[in-house]
Amino acid sequence: MPDLILGSASPRRKDLLLQAGFSFEVRSSSVNEVISEDLKPEDVVQNLAEQKNEAISRSPNEVVVTADTIVYMGGQLIGKPKNEDEAYSMLKQLSGNCHKVYTGVSIRDSRLWVSFAASTNVNFWTLSHDQIEWYLSKQESLDKAGGYGIQGSGALLVEKIEGDYFNIVGLPISRLTRELAAFKITPG
């Protein structure tokens, strides 16, 4: 069986692969992410995942998996906040509204390259100023698209979802497992 490489420093993606029973090595690189404004959100995340995958060195017996997640609402991409003020603005924007979370995944070895995107609809409760401030005090916002993490206290901001919960966390693990089968990689 080939060796699996997770091309991401995300602790959430690492945890999801571990929970699914995969053995893997983490190997990430820094990529100057270039986003084309004329692409659909699902194409943006696939393209970003592919950029990351191209930047990871691999041997012939290795399969590299990379991913990228964005929040999309009202025709606008919402990335990771740079600071707490930006996180507040993002959460205020998401409050009482439905948005989509897209995760693009890229899987590559020496013979095959597969990319796909998953999307999940997320409805937020209407949030008061105090509720947003409470959430910001949990220090979960700054490294997450949209300024929240559904796997932590951010779950209390969400009224309902339609789609894959794990996609919101950052890796649609069920779909990924099926795609990895073509690379002869299965959970242990």
The set of catalytic residues is 68
Q: Give yes or no for a contact between 56 and 5, defined as CB atoms under 8 angstroms apart.
A: yes
- How do beta strands 25-26 and 76-78 pair? unpaired
Interatomic CA distance for residues 135 and 133, integer angstroms: 5
Buried (b) or exposed (e) across 89-116, using 16+ Cβ within 10 A? ebbebbbeeebbbbbbbbbbbeeeeebb
Interatomic CA distance for residues 47 and 35, integer angstroms: 8
Q: How many CB atoms lie within 10 A of CB 165?
A: 16
* CA 51 to chain CA centroid, nearest Å: 15
